């Protein structure tokens, strides 16, 4: 499976600021996914990012709040904009499996706390 | 709307015994199911999966059973080991505009005691 890293691993931010989370994969992948896990909740898909096209956002998530970049086949960023305490979550990127596209492999996550 | 449900938030099992984690889903379009294991401060780790065309998949100590008519799947771990203590997430997918995006349950925290 691919090795996935995320930066930062955690951060504490002030209300109204923005944070960009980076996701790096050690191999080329077509699809990357961004998820959020709020405290006590399940993982929820924010958007799907294909290289060379705009991200596809799930219901309840919008580009202005969570802009995503996908400049190449090994890298993506998610920005959490104009943060509020409700954005405090773990943010995870994942990639499709290379052996089986149905499988996904996750990065270690970014723990965000908004004060 | 939670399409994948894990109704047991926690489970405690003795070492050597069988652990059974359950998962129910509501969307009949789901055609692929996965189990993930998550330790604190780490991302979910893929464990085992099953396609909707099968009713059982086995990998070492882990077996997943799928009952499509009941929209239910379960993960069996036998024998359970203390290192299996973690949160287990059930996930399901259906091919859509989001690709094979996963829908997750809330997780079951498994504690295997010596």
Whether residues B49 and A103 touch (CB distance < 8 A) is answered with yes
- Mutation choice for B interface testing from A102, A107, A113 by most B CBs within 10 A: A102
* pLDDT at residue A2, as a whole number: 83
pLDDT tens, residue by residue, A93-114: 999 887 777 788 999 999 999 9
Closest CA of chain B from A3, distance in Å: 12
Write the DSSP symbol of residue B54: -
Average of pLDDT values for B45-49? 94
Q: Which of B42, B100, B103 sits opposite A101 (nearest CB)?
A: B100
Nearest-angstrom CA–CA distance, A94 and B14? 33
Q: Is B36 on the interface with A (CB under 8 A)?
A: yes
pLDDT tens, residue by residue, B55-108: 999 999 999 999 999 999 999 999 999 999 999 999 998 866 556 788 999 999
Nearest-angstrom CA–CA distance, A44 and A37? 6
- What percent of chain B is modeled with pLDDT above 70? 95
Close Cβ partners of A19 (under 8 Å, ≥ 6 residues apart): A11, A13, A79, A80, A83, A112
* pLDDT at residue B77, as a whole number: 98
* pLDDT at residue B96, as a whole number: 62
* pLDDT at residue B97, as a whole number: 58
> What are the Cα distances from residue B91, in Å, to A22, A73, B51, B73, B82?
24, 25, 12, 10, 24
The ranges of chain A with pLDDT < 70 are none
With 70 as the cut, is the pLDDT of residue B43 above it? yes
Residues of B in contact with A107 (CB under 8 A): 43
Whether residues B44 and A107 touch (CB distance < 8 A) is answered with no
């Amino acid at each position: 499976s691919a090795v996935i890293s995320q930066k930062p691993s955690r951060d504490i931010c002030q209300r109204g600021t923005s944070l960009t989370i980076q996701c790096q994969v050690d191999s080329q992948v077509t699809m990357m996914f961004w998820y959020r896990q709020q405290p006590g909740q399940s993982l929820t898909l924010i958007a799907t990012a294909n290289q060379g096209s705009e991200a596809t956002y799930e219901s309840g998530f919008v580009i202005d709040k969570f802009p995503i970049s996908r400049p190449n086949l090994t890298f993506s960023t998610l920005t959490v904009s104009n943060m509020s305490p409700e954005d405090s979550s773990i943010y995870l990127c994942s990639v499709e499996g290379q052996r089986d596209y149905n499988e996904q492999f996750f990065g270690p996550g970014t723990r965000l706390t908004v004060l | 709307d939670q399409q994948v449900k894990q109704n047991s938030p926690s489970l405690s099992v003795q070492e050597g015994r069988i652990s059974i984690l359950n998962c129910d889903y509501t969307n009949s379009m789901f055609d692929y199911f996965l189990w993930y294991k998550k330790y604190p401060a780490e991302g979910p780790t893929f464990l085992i999966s099953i396609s909707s065309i099968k009713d059982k998949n086995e990998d070492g100590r882990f077996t997943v059973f799928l009952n499509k008519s009941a929209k239910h799947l379960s993960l069996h771990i036998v024998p359970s080991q203390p290192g299996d203590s973690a949160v287990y997430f059930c996930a399901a997918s259906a091919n859509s505009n989001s690709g094979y995006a996963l829908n997750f349950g809330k997780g079951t925290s498994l504690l295997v005691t010596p």
